[in-house]
Amino acid sequence: MHAFLRDMLQCPVCAGELRWDIAEREDDRIEQADIRCVRCGASYFVREGIGVFLPPDLPRNDLWEQTSTALGRYLHEHPDVEQRLMAAPPETLSPADRFYRALALEERGDFAQARAVADSALALLYTPEYRACHESQKRWVIDRVRDRPGPIVDLASGRGDLVERMARELRRPVVATDFSLRILRRNRRALEVAGIPEHVSLLALDARRTPFRDGAVSTLTTNLGLPNIEKPGELLAELRRVVSGEFLAITHFYPSDDEANLGVLREFGVAPLLVRESLVELLARAGWRVEIANAQTGRALPTPASELLEGARIDALPVAATVLEWCTVRAW
């Protein structure tokens, strides 16, 4: 993580000052450190360059950890499936299985092959309209943040699709954040292979209770973070607290009468964030001014299931065909 982040951080439990015991630095980066809150005594750390600021008292549903563990276990217990998944020509695999092959290749450290297989899978997993709408939002956000001051903090960065694009095109500090340490470790290796590790900081944090000081973040982005943050609680108020400039959230909305999908979204506790009117109202209630920018609609279908791995599917939603409204929510 970049050393300048120290000035932006506080204890995510009690907002106390942090005491840093730095064991290893490399240029402008901190590689190893032990960190303690001087007020409540909670401890955090930096290992292999990844800062870990997860509040110990907030339960997390880390799907990357679960998927990687389950995939590894399944392939270990079913060597015949592993053989077919890893040895068959990729073009003979279903789109979902290609993606699982990419995940397994990454676990083995083969990022170059994994990327080619993952790209070919993503081109088939989503409708052309879905991909075009999504791409248009990423382009819009990158152009918007180009001249903004300060580091860009990205929320719920996942595999870092947007982070990598911003770092590569803008060549300035981008902070990738996620509550999954597993995906951040994967990102560290992927960024090294991509040749752009020096622009990106990796922070493990929970978006619902971040370690950022009040107003410390001048530009916050997220690429489909909002649909993925379960039980968001006071998420929007927490983001209001930390952002002094602009929040740019790439997202999509479900039609308000799309009961098949909204029923599942309610189970995950994210339905209010995924309907246009309710998100705008929730943002306003949390103190944000809001503009819905670059809106466009595109048909979306449930992602196809795996043919080799029993019951596996890449995305939980949509569960039924729908038309999504894509946009970038600009809030300030």
Ligand X SMILES: C[S@@+](CC[C@H](N)C(=O)[O-])C[C@H]1O[C@@H](n2cnc3c(N)ncnc32)[C@H](O)[C@@H]1O
Question: Which residues are at the interface with ligand X (CB under 6 A)?
Answer: 64, 156-162, 178-180, 183, 206-208, 223-225, 228-229
Angle between helices 181-194 and 63-77 (to 10 degrees): 80
Helices (H), 257-306: 259-267, 276-285
Measured from the CB atom, is 84 or 213 closer to ligand X? 213
Q: H/E element holding 245?
A: strand 243-253
Q: Structure tokens of 103? A: 């995940």
Measured from the CB atom, is 157 or 322 closer to ligand X? 157
What is the smallest separation between the CB atom of 214 and ligand X, expressed in angstroms?
Answer: 19
Measured from the CB atom, is 2 or 252 closer to ligand X? 252
What is the smallest separation between the CB atom of 138 and ligand X, expressed in angstroms?
Answer: 8
Q: In what order do the strands lie in the sheet with 50-52?
A: 18-26, 29-37, 43-47, 50-52, 200-204, 174-178, 152-155, 217-223, 243-253, 322-331, 290-300
Tell me the longest C-alpha to C-alpha distance in the chain.
Answer: 58
Measured from the CB atom, is 160 or 298 closer to ligand X? 160
What is the smallest separation between the CB atom of 157 and ligand X, expressed in angstroms?
Answer: 5
Give the Cα separation of 327 and 332 in Å (integer): 16
What is the smallest separation between the CB atom of 230 and ligand X, expressed in angstroms?
Answer: 6
- HEC-encoded secondary structure of 70-133: HHHHHHHHCHHHHHHHHHCCHHHCCHHHHHHHHHHHHHCCCHHHHHHHHHHHHHHHCCHHHHHH
Measured from the CB atom, is 124 or 224 closer to ligand X? 224
Provide the pairing of β-strand 174-178 with 152-155.
parallel
Give the Cα separation of 324 and 154 in Å (integer): 23
Report the residue number whose CB is nearest to ligand X: 158
Q: Structure tokens of 47? A: 């290992």
Measured from the CB atom, is 160 or 173 closer to ligand X? 160
Measured from the CB atom, is 268 or 288 closer to ligand X? 268
Query: Look-up: residue for tokens 């292999």?
Result: 48
- Tell me the CB-side half-sphere exposure of residue 218, using CA atoms within 13 A: 11
Measured from the CB atom, is 25 or 119 closer to ligand X? 119
What is the smallest separation between the CB atom of 95 and ligand X, expressed in angstroms?
Answer: 17
Give the Cα separation of 77 and 86 in Å (integer): 15
What is the smallest separation between the CB atom of 266 and ligand X, expressed in angstroms?
Answer: 17
What is the smallest separation between the CB atom of 203 and ligand X, expressed in angstroms?
Answer: 10
What is the smallest separation between the CB atom of 143 and ligand X, expressed in angstroms?
Answer: 17
